Amino acid sequence: MASESESNGHHHAGDEARAENSGAGCRHGGDDGGGTPRTTPEIRYTKLFINGRFVDAASGTYVAVLRASSPGKTFETRDPRTGDVIARVAEGDKEDVDLAVKAAREAFDHGEWPRMSGSERGRVMAKYAEVVERHADELAALESLDAGKPLAAARAVDVGECVGILRYFAGAADKIHGETLKMSRQLQGYTLREPLGVAGLIVPWNFPAIMFFSKVSPALAAGCTVVVKPAEQTPLSALFLAHLSKQAGVPDGVINVVTGFGPTAGAAISSHMDVDVVAFTGSTEVGRLIMEASAKSNLKPVALELGGKSPFIVFDDADLDKAVELAIGGNFFNKGEACVAGSRVFVQEGIYDRFEQKLADTMKSWVVGDPFDPRVNQGPQVDKAQYERVLGYIEQGKAEGATVLTGGKPCGKKGYYIEPTIFTNVKDDMVIAREEIFGPVMCLMKFKTVEEAIERANGTRYGLAAGLVTRDIDVANRMARSIRAGVVWVNCYFAMDRSCPFGGRKMSGFGKDDSMHALDKFLAVKSVVTPVHGSPWF
């Protein structure tokens, strides 16, 4: 979902009591104990980025008396540590999307980008990666402030992935090849793989910068131009990255960013008659709306990376310490705001009791707090709506009869913090075991046989990811081939890599991010056929 700032370590007495009860360290507040951030980046870019310039939203009204235009509509982006407003950001709407698409169309139909050789595009993209790397600290701070990510993780993981993805597709830009066809009669045939045109890219709030480049990079490598709609919860990094693209020499109109809301700006992109393809990461519900908009407009192709309810399966022969470590990381990394979160943990009965105890003991050292504090493992949920949604699921789990092993409550007096919550005595038909929660909530369940594990792992409408821990290669191979998911991690989890295709099945969507397969959604295959006369061979 879509995709994925906390307190600084000052303790309140109530927080300590809750931490003691839950088995997780809960810190909240700023250096002064009142929520003051330790450090905040300067917010420099809050306007729409269209045709190489930052502009106000087109919704400004002309003021006749002053003979001037007022700034267009804006909306608030808030600090999830405190709920306070960080900045007001331009609120793009249909008119702004029209302007952005017009700029992207002009850049595609008449500009230099699709007419560059692949190696030339690759050089510009490599320069873009260098510029992003030089601004790594500022980008990481923006991600931490706007999305509530621990700063160290944002710097090491998110920014590192951004640079790596850009460099990967910079290298791919000159490796887009067609094929020679062996025709059945006196004809010569070959295929061309051509850029589709203007790509509408709608990215989520859980990994704003990574998802920006997961969509933008293959589109640019293919020769497309783009209109990006970042999530309204986390618009700041996309605008900053648009600014950096200008520094890197990406031509005007090739990258456009329209900030705003899904039902307005997102819907305008999805239904636009001059957008040639849409790639979206987010919820299954919104994915359906995008497909419907495509069908009602120009039947543009759609690629969807949607939700998940991924199984993580631990067999009796597993390394206990490793299995617990992977289960914790697979659930609580990025405060559970990850579409691949292994939130259904199945443990074989022979190891279950020891696993549960080890899990509870390990969570005692888990710290929830300000993402700018290096001691913190988990920050706040991205916004108030998501915070309340997750707490609602926790209460529903309690009402359904599941047992709280750790957590189960809000954390701190201010901001959107939730204790990492582990439920035991969970049944497969409970809401918490069926629906994507997208927060720090784990469902711990017991199983007996391989056959049972396969059936229960596949007992979901989703099919994004899965993980398993075993020393038995036969069990690993059988499970990997039996689980219906886009990726299966064996003795690891969250093992993402830009060279590995990523995307789901069933209601987790279709189409791939990462790897050379990611180029496919931005390319059209054209066949070229000519007669061949008098050839000595066919």
Q: For all residues of the chain together, what is the average pLDDT?
A: 91
73 and 160 together in one domain: yes
pLDDT at residue number 41: 87
259 and 390 together in one domain: no
Pairing mode, strands 441-447 and 421-424: parallel
Per the structure, the count of domains in the chain is 2
Tell me which of 15-29, 118-132, 427-441 is least confident: 15-29
pLDDT bin (cut points 50, 70, 90) of residue 364 is very high
Amino acid at 293: A
pLDDT at residue number 27: 57
302 and 320 together in one domain: no
Query: Token match 């279709």: residue?
Result: 510
Average pLDDT for 76-81: 95
Query: pLDDT for 341-350, tens place per residue?
Result: 999 999 999 9
Tokens of 471: 């020393």
- Residue tagged active-site, from 305, 356, 419, 436: 305
52 and 186 together in one domain: yes
- Does residue 109 lie within any of the structural domains? yes
Query: Token match 């497969």: residue?
Result: 428
pLDDT bin (cut points 50, 70, 90) of residue 25 is low
Pairing mode, strands 302-305 and 277-281: parallel
- Does residue 52 lie within any of the structural domains? yes
- Give the predicted TM-score (pTM) of the model: 0.90
361 and 243 together in one domain: no
Is the pLDDT reported for residue 110 higher than 70? yes
- 333: domain CATH number is 3.40.309.10
CB 515 within 8 A of CB 218: no
pLDDT at residue number 39: 63
Q: Which residues contact 216 (CB under 8 A, 6 or more apart)?
A: 201, 226, 228, 255
Give the other-Cβ count within 10 Å of 31's Cβ.
Answer: 16
How long, in residues, is the chain? Answer: 538
- Does residue 39 lie within any of the structural domains? no
Distance (Å, rounded) from C-alpha 113 to C-alpha 28? 48
Query: Token match 């909530």: residue?
Result: 441
Distance (Å, rounded) from C-alpha 430 to C-alpha 344? 12
- Does residue 148 lie within any of the structural domains? yes
Tell me which of 38-47, 91-100, 160-169, 208-217 is least confident: 38-47
Give the other-Cβ count within 10 Å of 535's Cβ.
Answer: 10
pLDDT bin (cut points 50, 70, 90) of residue 318 is very high
- Does residue 407 lie within any of the structural domains? yes
476 and 518 together in one domain: no
CB 51 within 8 A of CB 252: yes
Query: Token match 């990997």: residue?
Result: 480
Nearest to 230 by CA among 266, 263, 198, 274: 266
Distance (Å, rounded) from C-alpha 536 to C-alpha 164? 48
Query: pLDDT for 389-418, tens place per residue?
Result: 999 999 999 999 999 999 999 998 899 999
135 and 204 together in one domain: yes
CB 238 within 8 A of CB 258: no
Q: Give percent of the chain above pLDDT 90.
A: 88
CB 322 within 8 A of CB 467: no
pLDDT at residue number 59: 72
Q: Which residues contact 424 (CB under 8 A, 6 or more apart)?
A: 356, 402, 403, 405, 444
**How distant, in Å, are the alpha carbons of 57, 136, 143, 168, 170 from that of 159?**
29, 6, 9, 14, 17
Q: For residue 397, what is the enclosing H or E element?
A: helix 384-400
- 278: domain CATH number is 3.40.605.10
Pairing mode, strands 509-510 and 62-63: unpaired
Distance (Å, rounded) from C-alpha 226 to C-alpha 222? 11
Structural domain range at position 462: 311-497
- Does residue 25 lie within any of the structural domains? no
283 and 359 together in one domain: no
- Does residue 482 lie within any of the structural domains? yes
Average pLDDT for 33-47: 70
150 and 274 together in one domain: yes
260 and 333 together in one domain: no
232 and 211 together in one domain: yes
66 and 171 together in one domain: yes
Is 305 among the residues known to form the active site? yes
- Does residue 453 lie within any of the structural domains? yes
pLDDT bin (cut points 50, 70, 90) of residue 2 is very low
pLDDT at residue number 70: 60
Tokens of 297: 């407009």
